[in-house]
Homo-oligomer: A and B are copies of this chain.
């Protein structure tokens, strides 16, 4: 399965699409699955080494998250090493030592400072990583870095866990100061995390920008992309979104244009994650509009997106608007019940808080994408949360196939 549908302007390019980056992905024997690529290295050759990152806010943040948070504090990252096959979460002081040792190894291999090497891990919680294999793999990766599309694909594959396809997205930005590139890869999804934890995302650009600007642009892009993809409401211990900028294009990025382009790449990757969510048969776009505030719209959409009753109804191709209103009614958003309308796939089956069009007019089964539009009749703001239906396969994959 490699049919990736991108949003407009985005194409399948990876972390070495932007100039100044080399990468590698290979099988280091970390994963329990023999021969699976499980280690990736992404190196920023500069001339700039600016970076920003967003991490899980889970208080049981994994060792690599704790480490990388420190690394990115000064706005400089020279390389990131990522592994699947183990999350290195809830592994105590020894787990943190393992992460530290990994960064030191990469630093030595690349002749940079360990304090500028970020680390990401994904896989089972509560088990130590096989450090010798990891360090040997790092050496092999450093010796095989390259900037071809094949190199980037290898890296994107190496971070997969229960993903069935790798996720990459690239964009060429025609900026005010000239053109530059953005490329990225992703796996999992923070909020569709299976027992094999975590969403990991690495985005690179050859634009020149300050780390402060990168930080602002990344936070805004994540806010309206990954943070609005909510497959099962669960938050992982390892979620990391890392942005690195090499400045190799020589083009100074404008903040608004960079933010917009970065948002596009992040939204594209987020939609790829939802399309590959475990066991899902539908992607559901829950849009709340005519809200008094964006926060209200987001609260309402998220409440609906997290309802197991609603999610099972969609799986059953049932336009059950009662289950939608029930969730809207639990929020503190500004609205009057008798002014709320709800449409599913464009059919307004609830009008004025009561019965609207005939529900038999709604066809859910035909397409993977389902749109729910909730009109609060209370203002002009809107927000969309993308989620999945709750299926037998979700239960199966999360009960039978993890330990």
B60 near A326: Cβ-Cβ < 8 Å: yes
Query: With a CB–CB cut-off of 8 A, which chain B residues contact A327?
Result: 234
- A312 and B60 in contact (CB under 8 A), knowing A237-B326, A322-B124, A326-B237? no
The chain B residue sitting closest to A396, CB to CB, is: B392
* Interchain CA distance A95-B321 in the complex, whole Å: 17
CB proximity of A62 to chain B, nearest CB, Å: 10
Among residues of B, the one whose C-beta sits closest to the C-beta of A335 is B59
B308 touches A398 (CB 8 A): yes
Per-residue B-contact encoding for A309-337, CB less than 8 Å = 1, 0 else = 10011011010111101111111000101
A171-195 interface bits toward B, Cβ cutoff 8 Å, 1 = contact, 0 = none: 0000000000000000000000111
Closest to A318 in B: B403
Closest to A352 in B: B92
Determine if A394 is an interface residue (Cβ-Cβ < 8 Å). Answer: yes
What's the minimum C-beta distance from A109 to chain B, rounded to whole angstroms?
A: 30
Question: Once the chains are docked, how many angstroms separate the CA of A315 from the CA of B392?
Answer: 13
Given contacts A90-B353, A338-B92, A391-B395, contact A237 B325 (CB under 8 A): yes
CA distance A399 to B364 in the complex (A): 13
A236 sits at the interface (CB 8 A):
yes
For residue A155, which residues in chain B have a CB less than 8 angstroms away from its CB? none
Q: Chain A residues in contact with chain B, CB under 8 A?
A: 57-61, 87, 89-92, 95, 124-127, 193-195, 197, 232-237, 306-309, 312-313, 315-316, 318, 320-323, 325-331, 335, 337-338, 350, 352-355, 390-392, 394-396, 398-400, 402-403
29 A-B pairs whose Cβ atoms sit less than 8 Å apart in the complex: A57-B330, A58-B329, A58-B330, A59-B337, A60-B326, A87-B322, A90-B350, A92-B338, A92-B354, A125-B321, A125-B326, A126-B321, A195-B313, A195-B322, A195-B323, A197-B322, A197-B326, A233-B307, A234-B308, A235-B326, A235-B330, A237-B322, A308-B394, A309-B398, A312-B395, A313-B402, A315-B395, A391-B399, A395-B395
Query: What 4 A-B pairs are tightest by C-beta distance, nearest first?
Result: A125-B322, A316-B399, A60-B329, A312-B398
